Structure 1
Amino acid sequence: MANSRTGLHAEPGSFRDPANRVFHLDGDVLRGLDEQAAGEWRALSASAFFPPLIAAGKVCGTEAVESPAVPSVDRWAAVLRHERIPFVSHPYEWSFAMLRDAALLHLEILRAALPAGFTTKDGSAYNLQWRGVEPVFIDVGSFTPAREGEPWAGYRQFCQTLLYPLLLGAHLGLDFQPWLRARVDGIEPDQMRRLFGGARRLLPGVPTHVHLHDAMQRHNARASTTDVRSQLRAAGYSRELALATVRGIEKLVRRLEPRPAASHWVDYQRTCAYTADDRAAKERFVTDALAAGPRPRLALDLGANDGRYARLAARHADYVVAVEQDPGVVDGLYRDLRAAGERRILPLVMDLADPSPGGGWRGVERASFADRADADAILALAVVHHLAIGRNVPLPEVLDWLVGLAAPGARLVVEFVHPGDPMARRLLANKPEGLFPDYRPAEFERLLAARCRITRRLDLPSGTRTLYAAVVGG
């Protein structure tokens, strides 16, 4: 739904709960509430537990506002305005520690809500976002009064989008990102059951949250939700038992750690071909390029590795998204940034040759990376050769993709690694001879100049790498 006159449009990912809907209007994030949801909001905002969560930044900033021009305004009894998250990411773009911290925040909030008479309708990982490396709960419409004798309605979603991916990483050493990207609703219990047979069925968390969960789901497959709730109430299920269950899941999640995996990229900064002079010249060039012109609102560091240049970019930009393919590298970067209390750098796991597409209902419920980017500055350092040679992406398409991530007038800092560079030679050694006749400095510069206005260029002292600063559409 869009409104060209007012700039109003509905959030494509907000439609599953008919009691409330999120809209965007001229930079504001608004939520319309129906009569029942408006009453629950008033009770929630007056509760003892909720305002401290907002004050601590654990729940996104929210306030009631006078109804602006929201579609079907007669349907909404109240309208809320939320703080805007700097960059929306998806759980399959997070590292293990990021997903675990998001899960722990969700459980902490639920643990605070239950004694106050509230619960959450769902337990999806998509209810959380990030301010840098600080998780924040964004689905205020998910809070609802808890009813005695009823289980946590979000338990299944929590398992499928948070707990099960963590179990895959901790117990099997599997990267969970492809599993979450494949299905917006996460991993089903019956899939997990097949993976955790034999001795694996006794691993922490598996007997209760995989096998028992799957058995109960199959047992109640023909029963209605009302029937299940009645059975639980008759069995003596209470709010205290629900709280004890949440505490038990929280204890389990805290103990989960990823299995270490061998990775070339973990030691890349130590083993790559840069000399000390190259590195110093490169850092000066990047600093000068970012400092020229207005301060970027959003900067992307593509192929961020250990975050050296993302940290540099954070000195000159309001917010930096650091994208790296290796989940272990991103996990290390996240832990370092978390220890430093960094709130302006968001590390994400993503293969740049296979970036996050649109997903969910009609392919737009979860926006693609390209649709979310719209960056004011882009660092593409030591990444072009990996796409052009390593993944056989034609040079013109590499540059088209980079330009497509940028807002008009954005600054682009891109590094071209010459064919004679040790890293390029290593990649070329695995390819048929003569496969990349156009992979040459002069051709790259011609292609870049056709898409951007080149403002500076620098050959690094080693002589095998060239840096370019350019303005997109300039």
Structure 2
Amino acid sequence: MTGVASSISGLEPGSFRDPDSRIFTADGRVLRLLSERGLADWRALSSSGLLKELDAKVVGTREVEANVPEALHGGVAAVLEHDRIPFVSYPYEWTFSMLRDAALLQLELLRRAIEKGLILKDSSPYNVQFQGAQPVFIDVGSFEQLREGEPWAGYRQFCMLFLYPLLLQAWKDVPFQPWLRGSLDGITPHEARALLSARDLLRRGALSHVVLHDRLEQRYEEKEADLKGELRKAGFKKELILANVRGLERLIGRLRWEPDRSTWSEYGPHTTYTAEDAERKARFVADAVAEERPRLVWDLGCNEGRHSRIAAESAEHVVAMDADSLVIDRLYRELRAEGEMRILPLTVNIVDPPPGLGWRGQERRPLLDRGRPDLTLALALIHHVSIAGNVPVAGFLDSLQGATRSLVIEFVSPEDPMARRLLARKRPGNHPDYRADWFEQCLAERFEIVRSQQLAAGSRTLYLARAKA
């Protein structure tokens, strides 16, 4: 048996759980290394016609010749190359509608795979990425040949990482993002049962997928029974899996989450900008993006996404981030309806950004490690970060200097109505550094200020700046 080095440069840190398939990156290419068994499954998938039928729902994949490390026990039998996803995101950064769409995609792929004599060996949302507002399945190594009489092994994982988080938010209005960020394995059947009320447990789908699931898990938890063998002997058929999948599709397809409002959902109609200042701001952003010619733009605190859309007119890709999940969910649904592929909306609190998680803190990468932006938009944001978030002005600019090549930032003066509202909630003198002169001094120390423009109202100033080495 061929040995495997414990650390090989280029191996994706989050790709180690499947012994038959590992991701390797080299020179900007995304390669998948397959074992003999993995190759047999790939050949079964590629000859089934399923990939052609699914088209853009599965990441573009082809078999290639490439020099790769011996990163699999038993050796590498074949290499696949995948189309590169512009920006990697994780389920704890998605909105309700994004997780729901990813779940429905997973179920559709599973159902259609079973009809072709295949199955998905797992059911992780980490096997899905978003190309703009379109979910794309990326783990072709998850397809394997269906063995008659065996159950859907990924059912428990699907419930823990898809179904229970969706039920929690749809039925209880409890955001799932902190749960998935807190545990990469998701919510267990026992936890889901404890979190839902007696009335919730009477709803359609709860009895079979929550209550009975929990009871069966507790019953077999300490037993050494061969469940697969028992099911095979009992005459388990693939039709039972298909019935379960179709039931889950109906259940998840009916789930909705649409609260009346959130902290920033009504920001647009109640903004303090005049129409003229809003237009000046939009023009400043458009000119800056056209001038900097960025490949990747981050729009921090994007709200309804107006400036993300402006940036997308010149940039290749835009990641639109806001801590308010409702406004991001609405933006996602708008972009999905438009077929927008350049803007990726994510629920991210920039004061508490996603860290490295999982095994050795590397399985799921920190936000910055997934692709640094060429240009960052930080519009009407600094007062929230520095006043509400208690982050020093200099510290916020330090983080931006280390993250981006160019910056469009808006300073909201302490006299601005929005800043005054935040300061009124704080003890007097708590933010002595929140001043226009100190902000501009700190900005000039870290960035070359290309130009600035004060809006007509007088309390807000826009800056285009480039990071110093």
Alpha-carbon contact 1:123-1:155 (below 8 Å) kept: yes
Residue 427 in 1 paired to residue 419 in 2? no
- 5 Å-filtered alignment, 1:33-432, equals 33-53=34-54, 56-72=55-71, 75-224=75-224, 227-260=226-259, 262-293=261-292, 295-406=293-404, 410-432=405-427
Q: Secondary structure at the match of 2:265?
A: helix
Distance in 2 between residues matched to 1:428 and 1:364, nearest whole Å: 38
Unaligned runs of 5+ in 2: 1-5
Distance in 2 between residues matched to 1:297 and 1:204, nearest whole Å: 46
Pairwise CA distance, 1:2: 6.6
Pairwise CA distance, 1:216: 1.2
Alpha-carbon contact 1:411-1:471 (below 8 Å) kept: yes
Distance in 1 between residues matched to 2:436 and 2:258, nearest whole Å: 41
Compare 176-185 and 191-200 and name the one that shifted more.
Answer: 191-200
Alpha-carbon contact 1:370-1:404 (below 8 Å) kept: no
Alpha-carbon contact 2:59-2:136 (below 8 Å) kept: yes
Q: Secondary structure at the match of 2:81?
A: strand
Q: Secondary structure at the match of 1:351?
A: coil
Distance in 1 between residues matched to 2:305 and 2:279, nearest whole Å: 16
Q: Secondary structure at the match of 1:359?
A: coil
Check 1:212–1:259 CA distance in 2 against 1; reply closer, same or farther (3 A cut): farther
Q: Deviations over 1:131-177 (max 9, x none)?
A: 00000001111111111111111111111111111000111111111
Distance in 2 between residues matched to 1:72 and 1:263, nearest whole Å: 48
Pairwise CA distance, 1:235: 3.0
Residue 19 in 1 paired to residue 17 in 2? no
Pairwise CA distance, 1:234: 2.9
Pairwise CA distance, 1:72: 4.3
Alpha-carbon contact 1:261-1:328 (below 8 Å) kept: no
Pairwise CA distance, 1:123: 0.3
Structure 1 match to 2:10: 9
Pairwise CA distance, 1:404: 2.3
Alpha-carbon contact 2:265-2:327 (below 8 Å) kept: yes
Alpha-carbon contact 2:58-2:136 (below 8 Å) kept: yes
Q: Deviations over 1:369-400 (max 9, x none)?
A: 12124101100000111000011100111111
Q: Deviations over 1:207-256 (max 9, x none)?
A: 111111111111111344x7111222233320111111111101111000
Compare 20-29 and 69-78 and name the one that shifted more.
Answer: 69-78
Q: Secondary structure at the match of 1:46?
A: helix
Which amino acid is 1:334 matched to? Y
Query: TM-score when scaled to structure 2?
Result: 0.96
Pairwise CA distance, 1:267: 0.7
Distance in 1 between residues matched to 2:262 and 2:358, nearest whole Å: 31
Residue 468 in 1 paired to residue 463 in 2? yes
Which amino acid is 2:272 matched to? A
Pairwise CA distance, 1:68: 1.7
- 5 Å-filtered alignment, 1:437-456, equals 437-456=432-451
Pairwise CA distance, 1:261: 5.0
Distance in 2 between residues matched to 1:264 and 1:89, nearest whole Å: 24
Which amino acid is 1:91 matched to? P
Distance in 1 between residues matched to 2:7 and 2:219, nearest whole Å: 44
Which amino acid is 1:188 matched to? T
Distance in 2 between residues matched to 1:368 and 1:81, nearest whole Å: 24
Which amino acid is 1:232 matched to? L
Which amino acid is 1:69 matched to? V
Check 1:72–1:430 CA distance in 2 against 1; reply closer, same or farther (3 A cut): closer
Distance in 1 between residues matched to 2:412 and 2:204, nearest whole Å: 47
Distance in 2 between residues matched to 1:445 and 1:316, nearest whole Å: 28
Q: Deviations over 1:72-106 (max 9, x none)?
A: 48710111111110000000100001100000000
Identity percentage of aligned residues = 52
Structure 2 match to 1:458: 453
Alpha-carbon contact 1:65-1:80 (below 8 Å) kept: yes
Alpha-carbon contact 1:173-1:259 (below 8 Å) kept: no
Q: Secondary structure at the match of 1:249?
A: helix
Alpha-carbon contact 2:131-2:341 (below 8 Å) kept: yes
Pairwise CA distance, 1:258: 1.1
Which amino acid is 1:242 matched to? I
Compare 31-40 and 127-136 and name the one that shifted more.
Answer: 31-40
Query: TM-score when scaled to structure 1?
Result: 0.95
Alpha-carbon contact 1:417-1:465 (below 8 Å) kept: yes
Compare 397-406 and 445-454 and name the one that shifted more.
Answer: 397-406
Alpha-carbon contact 1:122-1:157 (below 8 Å) kept: yes
- Cα RMSD between the aligned structures? 1.4
Pairwise CA distance, 1:47: 0.8
Unaligned runs of 5+ in 1: none
Alpha-carbon contact 1:272-1:423 (below 8 Å) kept: no
Check 1:176–1:72 CA distance in 2 against 1; reply closer, same or farther (3 A cut): closer
Which amino acid is 1:181 matched to? R
Q: Secondary structure at the match of 2:85?
A: coil
